Amino acid sequence: MLFFPKDNTKKLLEKFFDPQKRVVQSLLFWGEEGLGKMTIARNFSLALLCEKKEKKFSGCGNCVSCQMAKSSCHPDFLVLEPEGGSLKIEQMKKALDFLLFYPQISPFKILIIDKADQMTEESQNILLKTLEEPKNNNLIILVTSLPSKLLKTVQSRLLALKFSRSSAQKIANFLQKEYHLSENEAKRIAEISDGKISEAIKLLNKD
């Protein structure tokens, strides 16, 4: 079970599993740190790459595609992260070159840009060209806690999904179901997690 801060976020992403309902090629996951944005981006990507017809978040975990993605060697899946405090133009060019080729084993080529707010202006400008003319078999996901640092022209090309803090009850329910905690244990951790699922899991691990 993957934790979603909002149920409507899950419902919207599930539409991507049906080619007839998929209407965009570029997404923006934004919200403060600790809300599970990157976790959902990765697991959503695994689901799209999975070879099973019946899609579910995180994929089946058993097919060749899922195994390759989890081993960070999937030819159609790339996660771009900052180097030295920024995402430089050289990094972006290599990532966009990755999108130029047809998928090798999956229906999609998926690029996740983590900490997208750390892109230089030059990097954002060359990314914009790809966002303006997306390929049907490409999916780009930008993940950031500071969307205001993205160029307005870049923002305008993305479907933005805001991640917010969750209620203590929702986090407690998740902890009970996934970590088999008692009701009291789950509530105790949820109440001090400040609405952040990552904080709740950290507290659980410390316990």
Q: pLDDT tens digits, residue range 54-99?
A: 777 778 888 999 999 888 899 999 999 998 889 999 999 999 999 9
pTM value is 0.85
Helical (H) or strand (E) element with 48: helix 37-49
Q: How far apart are CA 6 and CA 46, in angstroms?
A: 20
Q: Which residue has the higher pLDDT, 128 or 189?
A: 128
Residues 152 and 21: beta-carbon distance below 8 Å? no
202 pLDDT band, cuts 50/70/90, is confident
**If you compute the radius of gyration of the chain from its CA atoms, what whole number of angstroms results?**
18
Q: Which residue has the higher pLDDT, 79 or 137?
A: 79
Q: What is the pLDDT of residues 185-198, one digit of tens each?
A: 888 888 888 888 78
Q: What is the pLDDT of residues 21-50, one digit of tens each?
A: 665 679 999 998 888 899 889 988 988 888
Q: Which residue has the tokens 């390759």?
A: 68
DSSP state of 103: P
**111 is written with which tokens?**
């690029």
Residues 103 and 76: beta-carbon distance below 8 Å? yes
What are the DSSP E strand ranges found in the chain? 26-30, 77-80, 109-113, 138-144, 159-162
Question: What is the rounded average pLDDT for all residues in the chain?
Answer: 86
Helix, strand or coil, per DSSP, at residue 159 = strand
Q: How many residues make up the chain in this entry? A: 207
Q: How far apart are CA 142 and CA 176, in angstroms?
A: 31
Residues 80 and 69: beta-carbon distance below 8 Å? no
Rounded to a whole number of angstroms, the distance between the first and last alpha carbons of the chain is 22
Which of these, 5, 75, 16, lies nearest to 67 by C-alpha position? 75
Range among 10-19, 145-154, 177-186, 198-207 with highest mean pLDDT value: 145-154
